[in-house]
Structure 1
Amino acid sequence: MKPTKKVLGAEEFFQTKIKLENELIRLEELERDSKNCITNMVQLSETLIQISQTNESPYFLQRSKRLSIEIHKFQIKNEYKQKEFDSLFHILDKIKSEDKIEFLDSALKNRITRIAQHIVEKKRTPITSQNLKGKLVFICYVLEGVNFLIPKKSYRILRDIPAFKKQLKIGEKSVPLFPGPGFVLMEEGEKKQKNVILMKDSSKKEHGFYFDELKEDWAVSKTSLEGLLEKDSTNGQVLGKIKRKGKLYHLVKI
């Protein structure tokens, strides 16, 4: 007896259902594998950052951080469109094995710099209370290649603060931060961290100053300062600028 049309239709239906179920199982496995791949990519990008930091290579560190940001976006969006792949491959293409000599160059440069700084520090004459008589003392620091001076007071340093915020919340207090947002233009999604000098003004209110590096303190007489200072009204917190040994220093008030 031949199977009826309904019987044949039922068999086809359930065979098709089994095929669909198999495809679903395959998709589930692919999804699980893709998540594992992305987790591995995140870990590997963090390893690239650590190696770049250990080798003190800003060239590779910048690219590794950019790559890490894009991979995190990839992970958060959970979208695997072609443009996401193109963005990642574009960054990876910029990290060329031919440039590995840069690791050695950076390590050598940093070592030479440290040795030179050590020699300079040995030669420096420490500022003592005797040679400070009648002089104003300023903290000298560098931020993004720009030199700043602030009157020296008792201060403390905060490390790894998100860069260029308008203010910093410490407990219940909001501490204003100089120079604040807009000092450096950053790409979308780019994150930077800086150190902050924290000190109190005459009214005991705290102020924060972003910095990359502290330099040797300045000691100068009030008369000399007035003669050197070129007043600047473009920023309410900057009193003016001083040119010394071919470099500009911006005097910040507190």
Structure 2
Amino acid sequence: MFYQGVLTKMQTEFAEPIQYYLILKNDFLNMNQLLGKTITMEFVKYQCLKCGLDKPIYRQGFCKEDFFDIPQAGDWIMRPELSTAHLGKEDRDLEYEKKVQLQPHIVYLANSSNVKVGVTRKAQVPTRWIDQGAHEAIEIVEVPNRYLAGITEVALKDYVADKTNWRKMLKNDIEDENLVEWRERLKSHIPDEAQEYYIASNSETHLEFPVQKYPVKPKSLNMIKEQSYTGTLVGVKGQYLIFNDDTVFNVRANEGLVIKFTIA
């Protein structure tokens, strides 16, 4: 059987374990059902997620021209403290920015390779945690806009990490942490503007991933360089496909690539 389509991040369903779905133009693949199967991936071409043209992908699935033009790739996406829609100030498209920025946001702690702080829209919980490969997470603050979440994250980054070590996460080289204690410890460092939104009573969310075998020395697959790869799928964690030879493939980091999948 073979399938072909442009990559976008895998869709997920919060279950035990997490269910993963790869959505292609004409197909819908449950990746959990492919564990133990031999999969061949072949690079076909680029397809920018905005213009649809066969142009090299720059970042986030977009060609360079679109990346620096569309609101979906504004600086405030990666740096929420730069959000300005609450002030009525436009970055690239005020209508779009109001739609995304002026909705409830969560500042959270997630433990994937270590305890880290992050920001996501409330509607993206627990999807954001799944995408990061976190095995446990907890909300700290729920604020009405992205800006308040951003300045809270910046303040807390002085006391807790804001990055995930992807190799450590994939090796499952992790320790359980008491995130309630972490939350209480960080409370005093929340900016005054966000103190009233502190979540004082909640518990950790635990996540289980469909992995049969964790890689010992994960090596990232570069489809542009290799052009094709064949391996047996043994797990999915975060947005990574894990193969039996320790090769890992980050689906989200390769958005905008058209890939042909052959499943034996």
| Band of TM-score, shorter chain | under 0.3
TM-score in terms of structure 2 length: 0.24
Higher relative contact order at CA 8 Å, sep ≥6: structure 1 or structure 2?
2
TM-score in terms of structure 1 length: 0.25
Q: Which protein has the larger Cα radius of gyration, Structure 1 or Structure 2?
A: 1
- Which structure shows the higher helix fraction? 1
